[in-house]
Structure 1
Amino acid sequence: MTGTKRKGHHKSRLGCNNCKARKVKCDENKPSCSNCIRRQVDCDFSPIGTPQPRVSPGGLNMTDLELLHHYSTATYLTLVESPTMREFYRKTVVQVGLSCDYIMRAILAVSSLHLAHHRPERRDHYQAVAIAHHQAASQAAMLLISDATPESAQMLFMFSVLTTYYALGWPRKSGDTLLLADSGFPDWVYLTRGTKGFIDLAGVPNDGPLAPLFAHSTNRYMLREGPEASDSSAHPALTELGDVFARRPLEEGLRQIYVTALRELKKSFGQAQAYAGQYEMTDAFTWIFLMAEDLLPLLRTPTQEAVVIFAFFCVLLKKLDGHWWMQGWGRHLIAHSYGLLDEEGRLLIRWAVEEIGWVPPSAMERL
């Protein structure tokens, strides 16, 4: 049709990028223009780093619904091995979250990180959503900690468990200090101290929605105390390490901390070997929980002995590498431990280094 002039439209210089890319008029409504709402896509009016929820024409938050659906159909399966506990995370934790805002936000944060892991093309989006949810959850939880009651302590305990998954699942980047404490060890190493405090306040419940979680943890703890866990391939190296520490002129209080840490670590390795097909995060973190008040603070200094012992613990973390939230942590932390040790300390962790399969840098690379 010659001579027919194409009808133009008013160009909006302030319109969203989606409308600009499609070359359509944007009504510039915020936080989402009507075009993006109709197409159910993320509108990018929001400032960088502050994602806005995808809202349906009826007002539903489609982003959060997507995250809750993903958690209830996929993420919960990745958190634990026990069928009973998987059902707990799928059903009970969500029910608790429906009546506790910061628990629900923690659930959505973990789900969003899981999606970021499996959808690299939208990694930045899901990571930003995860940060927003977890920051809001943390702010709400922090207000309750100073005046925690036995009832609220149970909710805070559940929040700390979900926060551990969140911290573990955060992608590590070179030079990224978001989740690192002053010592360079990640904050999740020290989170258990707060978790232990919530248990001390709440006690171990015999009933209520969280009772299965506590019962499961108790059952897993008992496995490491049984005869099946009395030996492992790590025991000779840990015994040798104990002999080295026994010959050192250590202050008696520190010596007892190291003796206890090695004794409990032997039990952890025994359990990991005896129940290799059923090994889970609860098993590995039992040692962290037991050492929360004594050994872990020594990593902040850090002392050579504490770092050496922790390097052996990294072998247990490597056994969880099949989980998206734990991938690479064993290698990452033993490399960090190696960097903190003197030459003698590096020789003492040779068994752990070889067990993980990490190759230390050469002398030339360290220069």
Structure 2
Amino acid sequence: MKESLFQPIQLGRNTLTNRIVMPPMTRSRASQPGNVANEMMAKYYAQRAQAGLIVAEGTQISPMGQGYAWTPGIYSPEQIAGWKLTTDAVHNNGGVIFAQLWHVGRVTHPDNIGGQQPISSSALKAENVKVFIDNGTQEPGFVDVVEPRAMTKEDIKAVIEEYRQAALNAIEAGFDGIELHAANGYLINQFIDSQANNRTDEYGGSVENRLRFLSEVVAALVEAIGADRVGVRLAPFTSLNGTVDANPVETYTAAAALLDTHKIVYLHIAEVDWDDAPQTPAGFKQAVREAFKGVLIYAGKYTPDTAEQAVKDGLVDMVGFGRPFVANPDLPNRIKHGYPLAVHDPATLFGGDEKGLTDYCEFAR
């Protein structure tokens, strides 16, 4: 029995029944046209409502925010109504679900954003990065990203407003809160990491300047829906989608301290999770714990045993299990009783239908 993982925890307005998080995972099954969340997605999330917290897949805040084919949005009335199917289904099964608000910045292709040139902190192309487009078949077609244009001050103000409105839309759609996606090389990360940002104005250069866009977006979200319904995801040590910071310990410890001033409800750290990836330094985790007083979530290469120990050690409050949730809808039940875990089919992760989404066995014995 993993006692620490099954202690309840207060997350803003919600009392969560366990410390197990289903983190956001792109599945690319939104209905077309319109990138609308649908009944199939509602069933998928409802099956996994045993999680203490579900963070739904990355959801673009605007047409320009879309990085990949068939991902859902949250800017149109149809999209809000589509997500209501999911939130109702999760709540009917006793779950708590946050929306992840997503703008990919330069990690896209004109085919995914109506022929426009992508925007970013700077006119720097992400090298060796591909995204998938709708090539007219059920299989995604992968293409190289293109060079973005640097955002103007007017662009920055407009995108902050898009985030604010998306948060209001998420609450209208029935979500319990939102997670700001500031990780994995997407737009906000493109401002934070030094090697993706060569601006010379107040949004570039120093750590304080590179964190300014993050701070302004979070302030807008907090003003719109309340700090107790806002979480943020960061990825300090990843190089996903071409973003690298010269001094991640300094930068992301400062980010944690900054987010603490906004009193957000949680900070979600995405650890590197590929084979042979380095461990997140213990000293960094200690520094983050000291800098940020809210709920701390970590997600990465955790097993039930390492997750239990992490919570017991006190540097982590909740732990995210990504791919294990794909093939194990009742993952908390399996962890609690020590049941074996099923393995997902990688070929069905992105795009397609119910196969590999809702057809995994819901109950282990």
TM-score, normalised by the number of residues in structure 2? 0.28
Q: Please state which structure has a larger fraction of its residues in strand.
A: 2
Structure possessing the higher radius of gyration over alpha carbons: 1
Q: Which has the higher contact order (CA 8 A, sep 6+)?
A: 2
TM-score, normalised by the number of residues in structure 1? 0.28
